[in-house]
């Protein structure tokens, strides 16, 4: 029940146990389906939707390496580990990078982006994370920031690792130029096979990248040979692609609308339970990310010790943090099922109480129960 990798459905695990010819007719059909279903997930009509072997960071690297190079000006909206990583990657490929740092626990706002453009005059690329996993904060102005960037002639790279299929992401409507995600978070597939989608504007820039391209695997034009023309690029991670196919099929079967609702109801009920128990959440509701809930550690509760106890006594794992005094609970995919919610909240309450935190576990459980009431059907797998 941590911030990922998240548990996967049985059907995804089964698909991940198969090998087929990576260049045969069955694989061609699988790839076509993955592209179509991924386009649905990203809400895009673009056909430049590619999968790649590698974690979400590899998809970030592909996005950055294809749009940024020496002489290109990049604005990185940084409010934590992952949004900041995009800027570090852009520096790595020699772009001129401005890091726009948020105040702690806050997302970057449209007003801050406008100011940054006013100061600099021009940026070619703006990077951001829709959901910043390290602190459980979402970039609420994201659609407006993407629209503004487009008006200014800049391309946007958006990390949707913890948001795609957990909450609305509308690539075409919002004007996102590159959307990317890993398999192991909201999609509920395996780590190691990721997805990336390019808009027509972004693809024109990909085609203008100076040659020779510094990477083989992350070269979008070479990758398009496999994902667009069924030609060899490198040996595809076949079981991982099959797992991704199954995960996306389950998303399509559930429909985005119902999946968003399940995620939202589940997370809000869990948040209500945590608060009713006496715990405090790190992000205020208006910027809170539902898919990763950051919970402040009460005084004297040691993160590593309490999590170790939870795992041993209750077999429930949650995540620690990168420097902040919080623990993080995942609300992605299978984590948003009622049996997981009750088990997690009880395990957390009892473990924190054992460390000396003054909590009302019963009230927390009751608040979770009433938060889910009326929608039980949606939470039972």
Give the interface with ligand PLP as residue ranges (CB under 6 A). Answer: 4, 55-57, 82, 129, 131, 133, 159, 161-162, 182, 191
Q: How far is the CB of 303 from ligand PLP (least distance, A)?
A: 17
Phi, psi of 215 (to 5 degrees): -120, 155
Shorter beta-carbon distance to ligand PLP: residue 143 or 191: 191
Cβ-based nearer residue to ligand PLP, 104 or 153: 104
* Shortest distance in whole angstroms from residue 55 CB to ligand PLP: 3
Nearer to ligand PLP, 72 or 328 (CB): 328
The CB-of-274 to ligand PLP minimum distance in angstroms stands at: 20
Smaller CB separation from ligand PLP, 223 or 292 = 292
d(CA 66, CA 68): 6
Of 129 and 171, which has the nearer Cβ to ligand PLP? 129
CA separation for the pair 303, 145 (Å, rounded): 36
Q: Whole-angstrom Cα distance, residue 13 to residue 58?
A: 22
Closest CA to 1 of 327, 254, 297: 327
Q: Give dist(CA 337, CA 259) in Å, integer.
A: 11
DSSP per position, 142-208: HHHHHHHHHHTT-EEEEE-TTTBTTB---HHHHT-SEEEE-SSSTT---TTEEEEEE-HHHHHHHHH
DSSP 8-state code for residue 343: H
Q: Residue 4 or residue 298: which is nearer to ligand PLP going by CB?
A: 4
Q: Which 3 state secondary structure label does DSSP give 288?
A: strand
The least CB distance from residue 150 to ligand PLP, in Å, is 22
User: Would you tell me how many other CB atoms lie within 10 Å of the CB of residue 130?
Assistant: 27
- Decide whether 328 or 372 has the Cβ nearer to ligand PLP: 328
CB of 182 to ligand PLP, least distance (A): 4
Minimum CB–partner distance for residue 83 and ligand PLP (Å): 8
Question: Which one, of 162, 158, 138, lies nearest residue 287 by Cα?
Answer: 138
Please state the closest distance from residue 289 (CB atom) to ligand PLP, in A. 9
> Distance between CA atoms of 205 and 199, rounded to whole angstroms?
10
């Amino acid at each position: 029940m941590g911030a990922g990798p998240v548990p996967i459905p049985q059907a995804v695990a089964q698909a991940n146990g198969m090998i087929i010819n990576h260049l045969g007719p069955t694989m061609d059909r699988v790839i076509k389906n993955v592209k179509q279903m991924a386009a649905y997930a990203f809400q895009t009509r673009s056909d430049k939707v590619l999968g790649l072997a590698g974690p979400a960071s590899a998809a970030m690297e592909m996005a950055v390496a294809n749009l940024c190079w020496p002489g290109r000006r990049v604005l990185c909206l940084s409010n934590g580990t992952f949004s900041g990583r995009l800027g570090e990657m852009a520096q790595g490929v020699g772009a001129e990078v401005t890091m726009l740092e948020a105040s702690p626990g806050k997302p970057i706002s449209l007003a801050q982006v406008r100011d940054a453009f006013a100061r600099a005059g021009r940026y070619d690329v703006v990077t951001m994370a829709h959901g910043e996993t390290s602190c459980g904060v979402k970039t609420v102005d994201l659609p407006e920031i993407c629209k503004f960037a487009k008006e200014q002639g800049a391309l946007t790279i958006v990390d949707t690792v913890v948001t795609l299929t957990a909450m609305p992401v509308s690539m075409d409507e919002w004007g996102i130029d590159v959307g990317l995600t890993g398999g192991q978070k909201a999609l509920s597939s395996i780590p190691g096979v990721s997805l990336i989608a390019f808009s027509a504007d972004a693809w024109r820039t990909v085609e203008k990248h100076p040659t020779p391209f510094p990477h083989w695997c992350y070269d979008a034009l070479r990758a398009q040979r496999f994902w667009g023309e069924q030609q060899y690029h490198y040996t595809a991670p076949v079981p991982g692609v099959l797992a991704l196919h199954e995960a996306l099929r389950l998303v399509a079967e559930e429909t985005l609308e119902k999946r968003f609702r399940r995620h939202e109801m589940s997370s809000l009920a869990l948040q209500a339970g945590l608060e009713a128990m006496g715990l405090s959440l790190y992000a205020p509701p208006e910027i809170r990310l539902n898919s990763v809930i950051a919970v402040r550690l009460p005084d004297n509760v040691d993160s590593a010790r309490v999590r170790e106890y939870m795992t041993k006594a209750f077999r429930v794992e949650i995540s620690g943090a990168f420097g902040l005094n919080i623990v993080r609970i995942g609300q992605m995919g299978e984590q948003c099922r009622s049996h997981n919610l009750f088990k997690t909240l009880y395990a957390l309450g009892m473990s924190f109480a054992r460390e000396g935190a003054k909590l009302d576990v019963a009230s927390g459980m009751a608040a979770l129960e009433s938060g889910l009431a009326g929608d039980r059907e949606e939470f039972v797998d």
